[in-house]
Amino acid sequence: MIYPNITESRMVFDLNGIWDFCLMEEGEVYAGEKREGFTFCPMPVPSAFNEIYHGRDFADHVGNMLYTRTVLVTEEMLNGRLFLRFASVTHQAQVWLNGVCLGSHKGGFLPFAFEITQAVRVGKNDLAVVVNNIVDHTTLPAGRLVRQTFPGLKEEVHNLPNFDFYNYSGIMRPVCLYTTPDTFLEDISVQGKMDGSFFWKIQVSGMGSLKIRILSPEGGEVYVSENLSVGESGCLWGEGRLEHVRLWDTKHPWLYQIEAVLVDGNGKRDCCRESFGFREVHIRDCRLYLNGEPVYLKGFGKHEDSPVRGRGFDLVYAVKDIALLKWIGANSFRTSHYPYSEEMLQLCDREGILLIDEAPAVGLHTAFTATGMLGGKAENTWATLKTAKHHRQVLQEMVERDKNHPSVILWSVANEPASEEEGAREYFAPLVELVKELDPQKRPVTIVTYEGSSPESCKVAELCDVLMLNRYRGWYDTEGNLKGAAALLKDELERFHLRCPDKPIMLGEYGADTIAGFHDSNARLFSEEYQAEFLKVYGEVFDTLPYVTGEHVWNFADFATAENIRRVDGNKKGVFTRDRKPKMAAHFLRKRWNGYKKG
C-alpha cells in the first residue's frame, strides 16, 4: 500500500476539517438520503467523537453515527482516476457518495480506499460515512454487547470492551482524495540488507514500462534500472547491490528512497517514492540482533491516547512522545494494542525507534479480568469467538501497510489471548504462518501472553520467535510484596527458558498503577515510590538472566479506560501522566536506560 503523497503525477486533497455529525438510534437506517433539516453538530475530522460534547449518552454511545460533508471536485481532478482514502475509521465504516454506497470496511485501525472516478461529478458531491463502534465476538478488538433491564426502565444497551482502554471511535485518522493516472503503481515493496543488497517488487494496475531509482539519504541517485517492461501480471521485481551503504540503526537511522516511474502505452507517467532502510533483524542464541549486534529493547507498551483527543490522530503528541522516549533512554515501543498511525511509523523510521507492530487483536479471552468487566467467567474462548477470518484480514492489511518500515522489527499477532486454552495453537498457527508468508522481510513474530498462560500451560510458545510475556507479580498478585514478586518472576522466566531454550524472552508489560503526586516513605501501593521500586526490582531480575532480551514497561503514559471499579479515572500505570509529566519512575528509568548495555 502506497502512502498518499503528492508526486509529479499525483495530487492529494485533504478532506480533514469540520464535518456534520449525528448519533444514530438503534435500528435507524441510513440509505444515502440527504437528511435536510436534520440536527447535525460540527465534528472535527480526524478525531475520536467521544469527548467533543458533554454527556455520558454522547460519550458512551453504542452503535452507528453519521458523518457527512460536501466535497468539491474540479475537472482537473478527474483527468485520470480518483480515490477516496480513510486512514482509519473505528471500527466499521459504510461509505456513501451522492446517495450510492461505495462499500464498507471492517477494522478500526487500518486504511482503506475506494475508487470514485465514476461515482463522483465535477462540482459538489455529497459524502456520508456511517460509522459503527460496536465491539463483539466477531470484531478485533473483541467485546460483548449486553442488554440490561431495570424495573420500570426501558432496555439499555451496553458495549463491554474486552480490553483495558476506552473504546474511542469515529473517523480517527486523516481522510483524503488522491489522483492517479489511468494505469498506476499499486504497491511498492522494498527491502535493504546489511551487505548493501536490496530487493524490490512493484505491482501495477496494468502494463507499461518501469524505471527504478534508489536515492541516497541526501537525495542523490545511487542506482538506476530502466526500460523494465511490466507484463500482464502487473507485477515486476528486481534486485541490486549498493557499495558503501549506510545502515539504518537506532543511532543513525539512514533512510534511502526507492523511486518508481511507470510509463503506460499512452505515454502517461505515474511516479511514487517509498522510504526504506538497509538493516537486518536476526534471532540467535536467545538474543535479538540488529545488523549483527545484540540489541536489548528498552521502552514501553503505549497507547494512542491523550486528553480530549482520545485516540484521534494527533501529531503533536506523536512527536512529543518520541522526544520523551529519547529523553528517558528508550529505544523501542510496542504499538499496543493496534497498528498506530502511518505518520507515527514514519517518525519512528526517521528517529531510529524500534517497533513491535501489533495487530488490533486484543480481548481474545472470554475470561478477561483486568477490568473485571466480564466477570472472569471461563468459557471455551476458541469455540466462542468468531474472529479467525477477520484476524487474517487485519494481519494482511497491517503487513501490507507497514512492510517497508525499517522501524518495524517484530510483528505481534495478538495481545493476551487465551493461549492456555485448548484450541489456541490451532487458532494461531495459521495466523503466524500467514504473517511470515506475507512479510517480504520475514521478520520475527510473537504473540504476547499473560500470566494465566504459564510455561506449563501455554499452547503457543513454540509458534513465537520471541516469547513476549506480560507479568504483574507485585501488582495483581503478591501485591505490595516485591521480594516475593521477584522470586516468582525469576522462577517463571527460568521455567519458560527451560521449555524454549533457544528463544529470547522479553517482558511485554509490567507495571503498577501510580497516582502522580502520591508519596509514601514505605513505598505503599499506588505511590510513586512503589512504582519506581517495582521497576527497579524487575530490572534486577532481568539483569541476572542473559536470555531476557528486552523490557517494555506498562505503560508509557496514563490512559483512559472504560469506567469500572478497578480504574480511578483510567489506567494509572503510566511512567508519565496523561499530559506527559514524568513520575518518579521516569527518572529511575532514565538513569537505568541511558547507556544501559546488557552484558
Q: Mind telling me the catalytic residues?
A: 416, 509
- Give the shortest CB-564-to-ligand BDP separation in angstroms: 11
Spatial neighbors of 183 by CB under 8 A, at least 6 apart, are 204, 205, 206, 207, 208, 262, 264, 265, 268, 270
162 and 249 Cβ atoms separated by less than 8 Å: no
Which residue, 471, 454, 431, is CA-closest to 554? 471
Name the 3-class secondary structure at 245: coil
Least distance from ligand BDP to the Cβ atom of residue 573, Å: 5
Which residue, 93 or 445, is less far from ligand BDP as judged by CB? 445
- Smallest separation (angstroms) from ligand BDP to the CB of 337: 6
Element at 331 (helix H, strand E): none
Please identify, using beta-carbon distances, which residue of 281 and 560 lies nearer to ligand BDP. 560
How far is the first Cα of the chain from the last one, in angstroms, to the nearest whole number? 40
Distance CA 352, CA 356 (A): 13
Phi, psi of 228 (to 5 degrees): -90, 125
The grid cell for 554 is: 506498562
Each as own residue / partner, the long-range contacts of residues 32-40 (CB below 8 Å, 24 or more positions apart, any chain) are 32/96, 32/99, 32/100, 32/101, 32/128, 33/99, 34/99, 34/126, 35/66, 35/68, 40/68
The residues binding ligand BDP (CB under 6 A) are: 164, 337, 370, 415-416, 450, 470, 509, 554, 571, 573
Identify the three-state secondary structure at position 153: coil
Cα R_g (the chain), whole angstroms:
24
Q: How far is the CB of 301 from ligand BDP (least distance, A)?
A: 7
Ranked by CB distance to ligand BDP, the top (closest) residue is 164
- Closest to ligand BDP by CB, 334 or 443: 334
Nearer to ligand BDP, 164 or 439 (CB): 164
Nearer to ligand BDP among residue 370 and residue 485 (C-beta): 370
Q: Smallest gap, in angstroms, from Cβ of residue 508 to ligand BDP?
A: 8
**CA–CA gap between residue 591 and residue 564 (Å, rounded):** 35
Handedness of CA 375, 376, 379, 384 (dihedral sign): positive
Residues 228 and 236: beta-carbon distance below 8 Å? yes
Return the number of the residue (470 or 531) whose C-beta is nearest ligand BDP. Answer: 470
Minimum gap (Å) between residue 316 Cβ and ligand BDP: 24
Q: How far is the CB of 385 from ligand BDP (least distance, A)?
A: 17
Closest CA to 572 of 535, 528, 523: 528
> Considering beta carbons, is residue 49 or 554 the nearer one to ligand BDP?
554
Which residue, 342 or 509, has its beta carbon nearer to ligand BDP?
509
| Nearest Cα residue to 580 out of 315, 325, 313, 298 | 325
Nearer to ligand BDP, 509 or 533 (CB): 509
Q: Say how far apart CA 401 and CA 547 lie, in whole Å.
A: 32
Please report how close the Cβ of residue 364 comes to ligand BDP at its closest, in angstroms. 11
Provide the minimum distance between the beta carbon of 336 and ligand BDP in the complex, in angstroms, as a whole number: 7
CA distance 151 to 149: 7
- E strands along 326-460, which residues? 332-334, 354-358, 408-415, 445-449
213 φ, ψ (degrees, to nearest 5): -125, 150
